[in-house]
């Protein structure tokens, strides 16, 4: 008697997802004849960018908009501040690795202040007292150490990155070193995954206004986001102040005046 193994719906879903990624990747190949010097893989990047945009349009953005509509502002602020407090600890660690002790102490002081006076980070008391958040990560640390960024690289589902930043992110996660490392210690898998999901939705909701800004002023959405990302990362490596709550600031917005 012959028996055959039927693929489960989960496996079929995974195969379809991989197929979509492959098709979207191949769709843009060999379409950019003169790529930007900082973006030699522009053909691939544009196709992956379009794939990410579709995923965001169908899933992430509607969920973030619903979250914004259904969750009261104080609750959203509390959730965002708690996760930001975890990232401040990661920023402090990287500032010390970069030899920026002053920044490291400021970020660590923010964590202590917000974790105690701010009810576990729910209230960003430090910012109200004039202590600005200093965004930082291991990709910036490598840049400060002299590691080149490498080509611009759009990651599936994650978005803008570079070879250096993407490698730093994957490396720190593999080494169990990241802003969300404390969450990984939670044994309850359902609770742990819920926390990850809430963090992702909260981050996306915080970018809704920036997303609208890009739609209003960008001539080419892909180029705008790429240039803003690269300029912001360069500013972080040079130690220039940037807005910790938005990837697009007055100092990092690309200038399209000549194009207009």
| Model pLDDT for residues 187-227, shown as the tens digit of each residue | 999 999 999 999 999 999 999 999 999 999 999 999 999 99
State the Cα torsion 102-105-110-112 to the nearest 10°: -170
**14: pLDDT strictly greater than 60:** no
- Stated length of the chain: 260
The model's pLDDT over 111-141, given as tens digits with 9 standing for 90+, comes to 999 999 999 999 999 999 999 999 999 999 9
Computed over its alpha carbons, how large is the radius of gyration of the chain?
A: 20
- For the packed helices 61-70 and 208-217, what is the interaxial angle rounded to 10 degrees? 120
CB 131 within 8 A of CB 109: yes
Backbone angles phi and psi of 11, in degrees to 5: -65, -40
**250: pLDDT strictly greater than 70:** no
Average the pLDDT over each of 13-27, 174-188, 230-244 and give the range with the smallest value: 13-27
The model's pLDDT over 132-188, given as tens digits with 9 standing for 90+, comes to 999 999 999 999 999 999 999 999 999 999 999 999 999 999 999 999 899 999 999
Instruction: Summarize the confidence of residues 51-78 as an average pLDDT.
Output: 97
Which has the closest alpha carbon to 229: 255, 213, 247?
Answer: 247
Residue boundaries of the structural domains of the chain: 59-237
**64: pLDDT strictly greater than 50:** yes
Average the pLDDT over each of 13-17, 88-92, 173-177, 256-260 and give the range with the smallest value: 256-260
Q: Which band of pLDDT confidence, cut at 50, 70 and 90, is reported for residue 38?
A: confident
3-state SS assignment for residue 155: strand
Q: How far apart (Å, rounded) are the C-alpha atoms in residues 199 and 212?
A: 21
pLDDT at residue 260, as a whole number? 41
Cα–Cα distances in angstroms (integers) from residue 225 to residues 57, 134, 136, 249, in the given order: 16, 21, 19, 12
């Amino acid at each position: 008697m012959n028996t055959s193994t039927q693929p489960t719906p989960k496996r079929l879903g995974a195969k379809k997802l991989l197929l979509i990624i492959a098709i979207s990747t191949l769709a843009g190949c060999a379409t950019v004849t003169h790529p930007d010097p900082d973006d030699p893989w522009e053909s691939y990047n544009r196709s992956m960018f379009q794939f990410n945009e579709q995923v965001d349009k169908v899933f992430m953005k509607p969920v973030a908009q619903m979250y914004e509509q259904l969750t009261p502002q104080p609750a959203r602020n509390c959730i965002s501040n708690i996760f930001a407090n975890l990232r401040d600890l990661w920023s402090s660690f990287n500032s010390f690795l970069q030899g920026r002790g002053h920044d490291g102490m400021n970020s660590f002081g923010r964590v202590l202040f917000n974790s105690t006076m701010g009810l576990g980070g729910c209230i960003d008391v430090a910012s109200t007292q004039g202590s600005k958040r200093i965004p930082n990560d291991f990709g910036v640390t490598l840049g400060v150490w002299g590691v080149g960024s490498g080509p611009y690289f759009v990651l599936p589902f994650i978005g803008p990155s570079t070879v250096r930043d993407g490698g730093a992110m994957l490396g720190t996660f593999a080494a169990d070193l990241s802003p969300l490392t404390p969450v990984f210690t939670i044994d309850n898998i359902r609770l742990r995954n819920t926390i990850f999901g809430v963090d992702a939705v909260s981050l996306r909701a915080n970018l809704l206004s920036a997303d609208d800004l890009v739609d209003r002023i960008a001539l080419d959405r892909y180029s705008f986001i790429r240039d803003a990302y690269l300029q912001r990362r360069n500013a972080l490596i040079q130690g220039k102040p940037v807005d910790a709550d938005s990837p697009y600031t007055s100092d990092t917005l690309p200038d399209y005046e000549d194009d207009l």
